[in-house]
Structure 1
Protein backbone atom coordinates (compact mmCIF):
# COMPACT_ATOMS: atom_id res chain seq x y z
CA UNK A 1 0.00 0.00 0.00
CA UNK A 2 2.84 2.36 0.91
CA UNK A 3 4.57 1.59 -2.38
CA UNK A 4 1.36 2.44 -4.31
CA UNK A 5 1.03 5.74 -2.47
CA UNK A 6 4.68 6.56 -3.20
CA UNK A 7 4.27 5.77 -6.91
CA UNK A 8 1.13 7.92 -7.11
CA UNK A 9 2.90 10.79 -5.37
CA UNK A 10 5.83 10.55 -7.76
CA UNK A 11 3.55 10.53 -10.79
CA UNK A 12 1.64 13.56 -9.51
CA UNK A 13 4.93 15.30 -8.77
CA UNK A 14 6.15 14.67 -12.30
CA UNK A 15 2.92 16.05 -13.76
CA UNK A 16 3.24 19.15 -11.64
CA UNK A 17 6.87 19.70 -12.56
CA UNK A 18 6.20 19.26 -16.28
CA UNK A 19 3.76 22.19 -16.36
CA UNK A 20 5.56 25.37 -17.36
CA UNK A 21 4.47 28.91 -16.55
CA UNK A 22 3.76 30.86 -19.72
CA UNK A 23 3.15 34.61 -19.53
CA UNK A 24 0.92 36.44 -21.98
CA UNK A 25 0.21 40.17 -22.06
CA UNK A 26 -3.29 40.98 -23.32
CA UNK A 27 -4.32 44.55 -24.14
CA UNK A 28 -7.58 46.14 -25.27
CA UNK A 29 -7.31 49.18 -27.53
CA UNK A 30 -10.15 51.44 -28.64
CA UNK A 31 -10.48 51.78 -32.41
CA UNK A 32 -8.82 55.02 -33.55
CA UNK A 33 -7.88 55.75 -29.95
CA UNK A 34 -5.86 54.52 -26.97
CA UNK A 35 -5.72 51.60 -24.57
CA UNK A 36 -8.39 50.68 -22.02
CA UNK A 37 -6.99 50.83 -18.52
CA UNK A 38 -7.72 51.67 -14.91
CA UNK A 39 -9.34 55.07 -15.51
CA UNK A 40 -12.27 53.44 -17.32
CA UNK A 41 -12.58 50.44 -15.00
CA UNK A 42 -10.61 48.20 -17.33
CA UNK A 43 -11.54 45.58 -19.89
CA UNK A 44 -12.31 42.04 -18.73
CA UNK A 45 -10.07 39.33 -20.16
CA UNK A 46 -10.86 35.59 -20.29
CA UNK A 47 -8.41 33.04 -21.70
CA UNK A 48 -9.85 29.58 -22.37
CA UNK A 49 -8.52 26.28 -23.60
CA UNK A 50 -10.23 26.03 -27.01
CA UNK A 51 -10.56 22.24 -26.78
CA UNK A 52 -12.50 21.97 -23.52
CA UNK A 53 -13.40 25.63 -22.79
CA UNK A 54 -11.61 25.50 -19.43
CA UNK A 55 -10.68 28.96 -18.16
CA UNK A 56 -6.91 29.23 -17.89
CA UNK A 57 -6.70 32.88 -16.79
CA UNK A 58 -9.11 35.73 -16.10
CA UNK A 59 -8.82 39.33 -14.96
CA UNK A 60 -9.08 43.02 -15.82
CA UNK A 61 -6.69 45.29 -17.66
CA UNK A 62 -5.06 47.97 -15.54
CA UNK A 63 -2.66 50.83 -16.19
CA UNK A 64 -2.72 54.02 -18.23
CA UNK A 65 -4.36 54.67 -21.59
CA UNK A 66 -0.89 55.11 -23.07
CA UNK A 67 1.13 57.85 -24.73
CA UNK A 68 -1.09 59.92 -27.04
CA UNK A 69 1.73 61.11 -29.31
CA UNK A 70 3.17 57.62 -29.66
CA UNK A 71 -0.18 55.97 -30.37
CA UNK A 72 -1.98 58.61 -32.40
CA UNK A 73 0.67 60.82 -34.01
CA UNK A 74 3.82 58.74 -34.58
CA UNK A 75 3.89 56.71 -37.83
CA UNK A 76 3.78 52.98 -37.09
CA UNK A 77 7.07 51.25 -37.87
CA UNK A 78 7.46 47.48 -37.80
CA UNK A 79 9.10 46.39 -34.54
CA UNK A 80 8.31 49.61 -32.69
CA UNK A 81 5.86 49.20 -29.82
CA UNK A 82 3.03 51.62 -29.12
CA UNK A 83 2.84 50.37 -25.50
CA UNK A 84 5.20 50.95 -22.59
CA UNK A 85 5.52 49.60 -19.05
CA UNK A 86 2.66 51.79 -17.83
CA UNK A 87 0.18 51.08 -20.63
CA UNK A 88 -3.01 49.26 -19.65
CA UNK A 89 -3.00 45.50 -20.00
CA UNK A 90 -3.58 42.16 -18.29
CA UNK A 91 -0.64 39.85 -17.63
CA UNK A 92 -1.78 36.23 -17.65
CA UNK A 93 0.42 33.51 -16.15
CA UNK A 94 -0.72 30.12 -17.45
CA UNK A 95 0.70 26.71 -16.54
CA UNK A 96 0.70 24.39 -19.55
CA UNK A 97 2.64 21.22 -20.32
CA UNK A 98 2.11 21.12 -24.07
CA UNK A 99 1.24 23.53 -26.91
CA UNK A 100 -2.32 24.69 -26.23
CA UNK A 101 -4.75 26.40 -28.58
CA UNK A 102 -6.57 29.13 -26.67
CA UNK A 103 -9.37 31.62 -27.13
CA UNK A 104 -8.82 35.14 -25.79
CA UNK A 105 -12.02 37.05 -25.06
CA UNK A 106 -12.14 40.75 -24.22
CA UNK A 107 -15.27 42.33 -22.74
CA UNK A 108 -15.09 46.11 -22.77
CA UNK A 109 -15.88 48.65 -21.46
CA UNK A 110 -16.51 46.64 -18.31
CA UNK A 111 -18.54 49.32 -16.50
CA UNK A 112 -20.57 50.70 -19.41
CA UNK A 113 -23.08 47.99 -20.27
CA UNK A 114 -24.88 49.82 -23.09
CA UNK A 115 -21.59 50.26 -24.97
CA UNK A 116 -20.09 46.88 -24.11
CA UNK A 117 -18.53 44.87 -26.92
CA UNK A 118 -17.02 41.38 -26.96
CA UNK A 119 -13.97 40.79 -29.16
CA UNK A 120 -12.12 37.46 -29.47
CA UNK A 121 -9.06 35.97 -31.05
CA UNK A 122 -7.38 32.56 -31.04
CA UNK A 123 -3.74 31.49 -30.90
CA UNK A 124 -1.33 28.75 -29.86
CA UNK A 125 0.50 29.06 -26.57
CA UNK A 126 3.81 27.19 -26.29
CA UNK A 127 5.04 26.19 -22.80
CA UNK A 128 7.57 28.71 -21.52
CA UNK A 129 7.40 30.86 -24.65
CA UNK A 130 6.18 34.17 -23.25
CA UNK A 131 4.29 36.78 -25.29
CA UNK A 132 5.30 40.06 -23.69
CA UNK A 133 5.99 43.68 -24.65
CA UNK A 134 3.11 44.95 -26.75
CA UNK A 135 1.54 41.49 -26.36
CA UNK A 136 -1.78 40.57 -27.95
CA UNK A 137 -3.87 43.65 -28.78
CA UNK A 138 -7.59 43.37 -29.43
CA UNK A 139 -9.42 46.34 -30.95
CA UNK A 140 -12.68 47.57 -29.45
CA UNK A 141 -14.83 49.62 -31.85
CA UNK A 142 -17.42 52.22 -30.91
CA UNK A 143 -18.26 55.11 -28.58
CA UNK A 144 -19.50 55.23 -25.01
CA UNK A 145 -22.70 57.32 -24.97
CA UNK A 146 -24.62 58.30 -21.85
CA UNK A 147 -27.83 60.29 -22.27
CA UNK A 148 -27.95 62.77 -19.39
CA UNK A 149 -31.19 64.55 -20.23
CA UNK A 150 -33.94 63.48 -20.16
CA UNK A 151 -33.47 60.91 -17.42
CA UNK A 152 -34.79 57.38 -17.79
CA UNK A 153 -38.59 57.37 -17.46
CA UNK A 154 -38.63 61.02 -16.43
CA UNK A 155 -42.09 62.61 -16.25
CA UNK A 156 -42.11 66.05 -17.90
CA UNK A 157 -45.03 68.44 -17.52
CA UNK A 158 -45.82 70.68 -20.46
CA UNK A 159 -46.60 73.41 -17.94
CA UNK A 160 -43.03 73.40 -16.63
CA UNK A 161 -41.60 73.70 -20.11
CA UNK A 162 -43.66 76.85 -20.78
CA UNK A 163 -43.41 76.66 -24.57
CA UNK A 164 -39.60 76.57 -24.46
CA UNK A 165 -37.63 73.96 -26.44
CA UNK A 166 -36.68 70.99 -24.29
CA UNK A 167 -32.92 70.47 -24.06
CA UNK A 168 -31.39 67.05 -24.69
CA UNK A 169 -27.92 66.26 -23.36
CA UNK A 170 -25.49 63.39 -23.85
CA UNK A 171 -21.93 62.64 -22.80
CA UNK A 172 -19.84 60.89 -25.46
CA UNK A 173 -16.29 59.54 -25.15
CA UNK A 174 -14.06 57.12 -27.03
CA UNK A 175 -14.05 53.49 -25.88
CA UNK A 176 -10.87 54.20 -23.90
CA UNK A 177 -12.46 57.22 -22.21
CA UNK A 178 -10.45 59.64 -24.38
CA UNK A 179 -12.04 63.06 -24.74
CA UNK A 180 -13.92 64.41 -27.72
CA UNK A 181 -13.53 68.14 -28.32
CA UNK A 182 -13.57 70.68 -31.11
CA UNK A 183 -10.33 70.55 -33.11
CA UNK A 184 -8.84 67.94 -30.77
CA UNK A 185 -7.23 64.59 -31.52
CA UNK A 186 -10.78 63.22 -31.52
CA UNK A 187 -12.45 66.10 -33.30
CA UNK A 188 -16.16 66.64 -32.64
CA UNK A 189 -16.52 68.29 -36.04
CA UNK A 190 -15.89 64.90 -37.67
CA UNK A 191 -18.46 63.01 -35.63
CA UNK A 192 -22.15 62.99 -36.55
CA UNK A 193 -24.31 63.00 -33.43
CA UNK A 194 -28.09 62.85 -33.74
CA UNK A 195 -31.12 61.84 -31.77
CA UNK A 196 -34.04 59.95 -33.30
CA UNK A 197 -37.15 61.08 -31.45
CA UNK A 198 -40.28 58.94 -31.33
CA UNK A 199 -43.68 59.45 -29.68
CA UNK A 200 -45.90 56.44 -28.98
CA UNK A 201 -43.71 54.37 -31.29
CA UNK A 202 -43.92 56.76 -34.26
CA UNK A 203 -41.09 58.87 -35.68
CA UNK A 204 -41.26 62.57 -34.75
CA UNK A 205 -37.98 64.23 -35.70
CA UNK A 206 -34.22 63.90 -36.00
CA UNK A 207 -32.51 66.02 -33.36
CA UNK A 208 -29.16 67.56 -34.31
CA UNK A 209 -26.70 67.43 -31.39
CA UNK A 210 -23.76 69.84 -31.13
CA UNK A 211 -20.73 69.96 -28.85
CA UNK A 212 -21.06 72.56 -26.07
CA UNK A 213 -18.05 71.51 -23.96
CA UNK A 214 -15.62 68.61 -23.79
CA UNK A 215 -17.58 65.36 -24.39
CA UNK A 216 -20.94 67.12 -23.86
CA UNK A 217 -23.42 67.35 -26.74
CA UNK A 218 -26.75 69.20 -26.70
CA UNK A 219 -29.82 69.52 -28.89
CA UNK A 220 -33.37 70.78 -28.42
CA UNK A 221 -36.95 70.31 -29.54
CA UNK A 222 -40.24 71.98 -28.62
CA UNK A 223 -42.43 69.38 -26.91
CA UNK A 224 -46.09 70.26 -27.33
CA UNK A 225 -47.92 66.93 -27.38
CA UNK A 226 -48.26 64.52 -24.43
CA UNK A 227 -47.18 60.93 -24.93
CA UNK A 228 -44.65 58.21 -24.32
CA UNK A 229 -41.39 59.34 -25.89
CA UNK A 230 -38.23 57.50 -26.85
CA UNK A 231 -34.91 59.09 -27.78
CA UNK A 232 -32.37 56.94 -29.65
CA UNK A 233 -29.12 58.87 -29.79
CA UNK A 234 -26.22 57.82 -32.00
CA UNK A 235 -22.68 58.89 -32.88
CA UNK A 236 -21.04 58.01 -36.20
CA UNK A 237 -17.55 58.62 -37.58
CA UNK A 238 -17.33 57.96 -41.29
CA UNK A 239 -13.52 57.65 -41.53
CA UNK A 240 -13.18 54.88 -38.94
CA UNK A 241 -16.65 53.35 -38.91
CA UNK A 242 -16.94 53.94 -35.18
CA UNK A 243 -20.55 53.97 -33.97
CA UNK A 244 -22.32 54.20 -30.63
CA UNK A 245 -25.92 54.29 -29.39
CA UNK A 246 -27.83 55.02 -26.20
CA UNK A 247 -31.60 55.05 -25.64
CA UNK A 248 -33.93 56.63 -23.12
CA UNK A 249 -37.69 56.55 -22.57
CA UNK A 250 -39.60 59.39 -20.92
CA UNK A 251 -43.18 60.64 -20.52
CA UNK A 252 -44.65 64.03 -21.39
CA UNK A 253 -47.96 64.98 -19.77
CA UNK A 254 -50.21 68.02 -19.58
Structure 2
Protein backbone atom coordinates (compact mmCIF):
# COMPACT_ATOMS: atom_id res chain seq x y z
CA UNK A 1 0.00 0.00 0.00
CA UNK A 2 2.80 2.35 0.90
CA UNK A 3 4.49 1.47 -2.37
CA UNK A 4 1.34 2.36 -4.33
CA UNK A 5 1.01 5.69 -2.50
CA UNK A 6 4.66 6.44 -3.23
CA UNK A 7 4.17 5.86 -6.94
CA UNK A 8 1.01 7.94 -6.92
CA UNK A 9 2.89 10.80 -5.26
CA UNK A 10 5.74 10.42 -7.73
CA UNK A 11 3.27 10.48 -10.64
CA UNK A 12 1.53 13.60 -9.31
CA UNK A 13 4.85 15.40 -8.87
CA UNK A 14 5.92 14.32 -12.36
CA UNK A 15 2.69 15.67 -13.87
CA UNK A 16 3.11 18.95 -11.97
CA UNK A 17 6.67 19.36 -13.19
CA UNK A 18 5.71 18.40 -16.75
CA UNK A 19 2.69 20.70 -16.88
CA UNK A 20 4.69 23.64 -15.50
CA UNK A 21 7.14 23.24 -18.36
CA UNK A 22 4.26 23.80 -20.79
CA UNK A 23 3.67 27.32 -19.48
CA UNK A 24 5.67 30.30 -20.71
CA UNK A 25 7.98 32.03 -18.27
CA UNK A 26 8.62 35.75 -18.47
CA UNK A 27 12.28 36.34 -19.16
CA UNK A 28 13.70 39.87 -19.07
CA UNK A 29 16.43 40.98 -21.44
CA UNK A 30 17.91 44.45 -20.96
CA UNK A 31 19.00 45.93 -24.30
CA UNK A 32 21.09 49.06 -24.77
CA UNK A 33 22.50 50.93 -27.74
CA UNK A 34 25.85 52.66 -27.26
CA UNK A 35 27.43 55.16 -29.64
CA UNK A 36 30.87 54.05 -30.80
CA UNK A 37 33.54 56.00 -28.87
CA UNK A 38 30.79 57.73 -26.88
CA UNK A 39 27.84 57.13 -24.56
CA UNK A 40 24.48 55.40 -24.52
CA UNK A 41 21.68 56.43 -26.86
CA UNK A 42 18.74 57.62 -24.80
CA UNK A 43 15.86 60.05 -24.44
CA UNK A 44 17.85 63.22 -25.16
CA UNK A 45 18.25 62.25 -28.84
CA UNK A 46 15.02 60.26 -29.18
CA UNK A 47 16.42 56.84 -28.33
CA UNK A 48 17.09 53.71 -30.35
CA UNK A 49 14.33 51.57 -31.82
CA UNK A 50 14.72 47.99 -30.59
CA UNK A 51 13.25 44.90 -32.26
CA UNK A 52 13.54 41.43 -30.74
CA UNK A 53 12.75 38.67 -33.24
CA UNK A 54 12.57 34.91 -33.36
CA UNK A 55 15.75 34.20 -35.34
CA UNK A 56 14.15 31.34 -37.29
CA UNK A 57 10.74 32.79 -38.17
CA UNK A 58 11.34 36.55 -38.01
CA UNK A 59 8.37 36.98 -35.66
CA UNK A 60 8.68 40.17 -33.61
CA UNK A 61 8.60 39.12 -29.95
CA UNK A 62 9.15 42.55 -28.40
CA UNK A 63 9.81 46.10 -29.55
CA UNK A 64 10.34 49.50 -28.00
CA UNK A 65 12.54 52.58 -27.66
CA UNK A 66 15.51 52.95 -25.34
CA UNK A 67 14.89 55.63 -22.73
CA UNK A 68 16.93 57.18 -19.97
CA UNK A 69 20.19 59.10 -19.71
CA UNK A 70 23.33 58.76 -21.79
CA UNK A 71 25.15 57.47 -18.72
CA UNK A 72 28.01 58.59 -16.50
CA UNK A 73 30.61 60.38 -18.64
CA UNK A 74 33.47 59.79 -16.21
CA UNK A 75 32.85 56.03 -15.98
CA UNK A 76 32.29 55.54 -19.69
CA UNK A 77 34.91 57.86 -21.17
CA UNK A 78 37.61 58.47 -18.56
CA UNK A 79 38.03 55.34 -16.47
CA UNK A 80 39.61 52.01 -17.37
CA UNK A 81 36.94 49.33 -17.80
CA UNK A 82 37.29 46.24 -15.65
CA UNK A 83 35.84 42.85 -16.34
CA UNK A 84 32.49 42.32 -14.63
CA UNK A 85 31.86 46.00 -13.93
CA UNK A 86 28.82 47.69 -15.46
CA UNK A 87 29.15 50.84 -17.55
CA UNK A 88 25.48 51.59 -16.92
CA UNK A 89 23.49 52.46 -13.82
CA UNK A 90 19.77 52.52 -12.98
CA UNK A 91 19.28 55.76 -14.94
CA UNK A 92 21.14 54.74 -18.10
CA UNK A 93 19.12 54.39 -21.27
CA UNK A 94 17.89 50.94 -22.20
CA UNK A 95 14.89 48.88 -23.22
CA UNK A 96 13.78 45.93 -21.12
CA UNK A 97 12.29 43.22 -23.34
CA UNK A 98 9.95 40.94 -21.43
CA UNK A 99 9.78 37.66 -23.35
CA UNK A 100 7.27 34.92 -22.58
CA UNK A 101 8.98 31.71 -23.65
CA UNK A 102 8.38 28.02 -22.90
CA UNK A 103 11.75 26.77 -24.09
CA UNK A 104 15.16 28.17 -25.03
CA UNK A 105 14.77 30.59 -27.91
CA UNK A 106 17.37 31.79 -30.41
CA UNK A 107 16.67 35.48 -31.00
CA UNK A 108 17.84 38.34 -33.18
CA UNK A 109 18.10 41.79 -31.61
CA UNK A 110 18.13 44.83 -33.89
CA UNK A 111 18.78 48.44 -32.85
CA UNK A 112 18.01 51.36 -35.18
CA UNK A 113 19.63 54.54 -33.92
CA UNK A 114 19.26 57.38 -33.50
CA UNK A 115 15.63 56.74 -34.45
CA UNK A 116 14.73 60.44 -34.93
CA UNK A 117 17.64 61.21 -37.28
CA UNK A 118 16.92 59.30 -40.48
CA UNK A 119 19.95 60.55 -42.42
CA UNK A 120 22.18 59.25 -39.62
CA UNK A 121 20.24 56.17 -38.49
CA UNK A 122 22.09 52.86 -38.71
CA UNK A 123 21.13 49.33 -37.76
CA UNK A 124 23.21 47.17 -35.46
CA UNK A 125 22.23 43.60 -34.61
CA UNK A 126 23.27 40.48 -32.77
CA UNK A 127 21.90 37.03 -31.99
CA UNK A 128 21.81 34.96 -28.81
CA UNK A 129 20.01 32.20 -26.94
CA UNK A 130 17.51 33.16 -24.25
CA UNK A 131 16.67 30.58 -21.58
CA UNK A 132 13.22 30.63 -19.87
CA UNK A 133 13.39 32.38 -16.51
CA UNK A 134 17.06 33.36 -16.92
CA UNK A 135 17.13 37.17 -17.03
CA UNK A 136 19.87 39.14 -18.76
CA UNK A 137 20.32 42.23 -16.60
CA UNK A 138 22.93 44.89 -15.74
CA UNK A 139 24.46 46.28 -18.92
CA UNK A 140 22.56 43.49 -20.66
CA UNK A 141 22.97 43.22 -24.41
CA UNK A 142 24.86 46.28 -25.68
CA UNK A 143 24.78 47.05 -29.40
CA UNK A 144 27.51 49.30 -30.79
CA UNK A 145 26.28 52.17 -33.00
CA UNK A 146 29.01 53.71 -35.19
CA UNK A 147 28.93 57.13 -36.82
CA UNK A 148 28.16 60.83 -36.42
CA UNK A 149 24.90 62.72 -36.70
CA UNK A 150 25.41 65.44 -39.32
CA UNK A 151 22.72 68.07 -39.93
CA UNK A 152 23.24 70.72 -42.62
CA UNK A 153 21.95 74.01 -41.21
CA UNK A 154 22.98 76.25 -44.11
CA UNK A 155 22.32 76.57 -46.98
CA UNK A 156 18.71 75.46 -46.82
CA UNK A 157 17.34 72.79 -49.14
CA UNK A 158 16.55 74.18 -52.62
CA UNK A 159 17.58 77.67 -51.51
CA UNK A 160 18.10 80.22 -54.29
CA UNK A 161 21.27 82.23 -53.79
CA UNK A 162 22.69 85.01 -55.95
CA UNK A 163 26.08 84.26 -57.46
CA UNK A 164 27.27 87.58 -56.05
CA UNK A 165 26.57 86.45 -52.49
CA UNK A 166 28.92 84.71 -50.11
CA UNK A 167 27.49 81.28 -49.23
CA UNK A 168 27.77 80.12 -45.62
CA UNK A 169 28.22 76.38 -45.12
CA UNK A 170 27.11 75.39 -41.63
CA UNK A 171 26.49 71.98 -40.09
CA UNK A 172 25.72 70.62 -36.66
CA UNK A 173 27.78 67.51 -35.87
CA UNK A 174 27.34 65.36 -32.76
CA UNK A 175 28.10 61.82 -31.69
CA UNK A 176 25.36 59.22 -32.21
CA UNK A 177 24.30 59.70 -28.58
CA UNK A 178 24.04 63.47 -29.07
CA UNK A 179 27.29 64.20 -27.24
CA UNK A 180 28.84 67.53 -28.35
CA UNK A 181 31.94 67.96 -30.50
CA UNK A 182 34.25 70.77 -29.35
CA UNK A 183 37.87 71.78 -29.77
CA UNK A 184 40.00 70.06 -27.11
CA UNK A 185 36.88 68.46 -25.61
CA UNK A 186 36.21 64.80 -24.83
CA UNK A 187 35.04 64.51 -28.44
CA UNK A 188 37.73 66.69 -29.93
CA UNK A 189 36.86 68.65 -33.08
CA UNK A 190 40.59 68.83 -33.85
CA UNK A 191 40.62 65.04 -34.25
CA UNK A 192 37.87 64.94 -36.88
CA UNK A 193 37.97 65.71 -40.58
CA UNK A 194 34.91 67.70 -41.61
CA UNK A 195 34.53 68.72 -45.24
CA UNK A 196 31.92 69.83 -47.75
CA UNK A 197 31.89 68.34 -51.23
CA UNK A 198 30.19 70.66 -53.72
CA UNK A 199 29.20 69.12 -57.06
CA UNK A 200 27.71 71.00 -60.01
CA UNK A 201 25.25 69.65 -62.58
CA UNK A 202 28.14 68.63 -64.85
CA UNK A 203 29.59 66.38 -62.18
CA UNK A 204 32.55 68.61 -61.29
CA UNK A 205 33.35 68.62 -57.57
CA UNK A 206 35.45 70.53 -55.10
CA UNK A 207 36.12 70.05 -51.39
CA UNK A 208 36.03 72.69 -48.68
CA UNK A 209 37.38 72.11 -45.17
CA UNK A 210 35.14 73.16 -42.29
CA UNK A 211 36.10 74.06 -38.72
CA UNK A 212 34.24 74.13 -35.42
CA UNK A 213 33.46 77.69 -34.34
CA UNK A 214 30.99 79.93 -32.49
CA UNK A 215 29.45 77.15 -30.37
CA UNK A 216 29.81 73.41 -29.66
CA UNK A 217 29.17 71.04 -32.59
CA UNK A 218 28.83 73.86 -35.14
CA UNK A 219 31.15 73.64 -38.15
CA UNK A 220 31.44 76.42 -40.73
CA UNK A 221 33.08 77.54 -43.97
CA UNK A 222 32.38 80.22 -46.57
CA UNK A 223 32.36 79.72 -50.35
CA UNK A 224 31.33 81.49 -53.54
CA UNK A 225 29.82 79.70 -56.53
CA UNK A 226 29.00 80.49 -60.13
CA UNK A 227 25.48 80.19 -61.48
CA UNK A 228 24.15 76.63 -61.61
CA UNK A 229 22.62 73.72 -59.72
CA UNK A 230 24.66 72.18 -56.91
CA UNK A 231 24.65 69.13 -54.66
CA UNK A 232 26.22 69.82 -51.29
CA UNK A 233 27.44 66.94 -49.13
CA UNK A 234 28.99 67.55 -45.71
CA UNK A 235 30.76 64.67 -43.99
CA UNK A 236 32.58 63.99 -40.73
CA UNK A 237 35.30 61.37 -40.37
CA UNK A 238 37.35 60.22 -37.39
CA UNK A 239 40.60 58.56 -38.56
CA UNK A 240 41.15 56.99 -35.12
CA UNK A 241 37.83 55.18 -34.72
CA UNK A 242 36.53 55.07 -38.29
CA UNK A 243 33.32 56.87 -37.32
CA UNK A 244 31.67 58.58 -40.30
CA UNK A 245 28.51 60.55 -40.98
CA UNK A 246 27.06 62.87 -43.61
CA UNK A 247 24.14 64.94 -44.77
CA UNK A 248 23.21 66.23 -48.25
CA UNK A 249 21.26 69.10 -49.76
CA UNK A 250 20.73 70.92 -53.04
CA UNK A 251 20.84 74.61 -53.91
CA UNK A 252 20.33 76.89 -56.90
CA UNK A 253 22.81 79.68 -57.62
CA UNK A 254 21.49 82.34 -60.00
Displacement after TM superposition at 1:203 (Å):
2.5
Measured against aligned partners, the alpha-carbon deviations of 1:147-192 in whole angstroms (never above 9, x if no partner) come to: 0111111111235x1xxx3210000000000000011000000000
Partner of 1:8: none
Are 2:234 and 2:247, in contact at CA under 8 Å, matched by a contact in 1?
Answer: yes
* Residues 1:27 and 2:32 are matched in the alignment: yes
Unpaired runs of 5+ residues, structure 2, are 1-18
Which runs of structure 1 show a deviation greater than 3 angstroms over 4 or more consecutive aligned residues?
14-17
Q: Normalization by structure 2: what TM-score? A: 0.90
Q: Determine the C-alpha separation between the residues in 2 that align with 1:201 and 1:76.
A: 52
1:83-162 matches, cutoff 5 A: 83-159=88-164, 161=165
Q: Secondary structure of 1:26's partner?
A: strand
Partner of 2:69: 64
* Residues 1:205 and 2:210 are matched in the alignment: no
Are 2:113 and 2:123, in contact at CA under 8 Å, matched by a contact in 1?
Answer: yes
**In the alignment, which of 207, 214, 217 is matched to residue 215 of structure 1?**
217
The RMSD of aligned alpha carbons is 1.3
Measured against aligned partners, the alpha-carbon deviations of 1:1-54 in whole angstroms (never above 9, x if no partner) come to: xxxxxxxxxxxxx68961000000000000000000000100000000112111
The number of residues matched between the two structures is 235
Q: Determine the C-alpha separation between the residues in 2 that align with 1:15 and 1:206.
A: 67
Larger-Rg structure: 2
Q: Normalization by structure 1: what TM-score? A: 0.90
Q: Secondary structure of 1:189's partner?
A: helix
Are 1:196 and 1:203, in contact at CA under 8 Å, matched by a contact in 2?
Answer: no
Unpaired runs of 5+ residues, structure 1, are 1-13
Partner of 1:184: 185
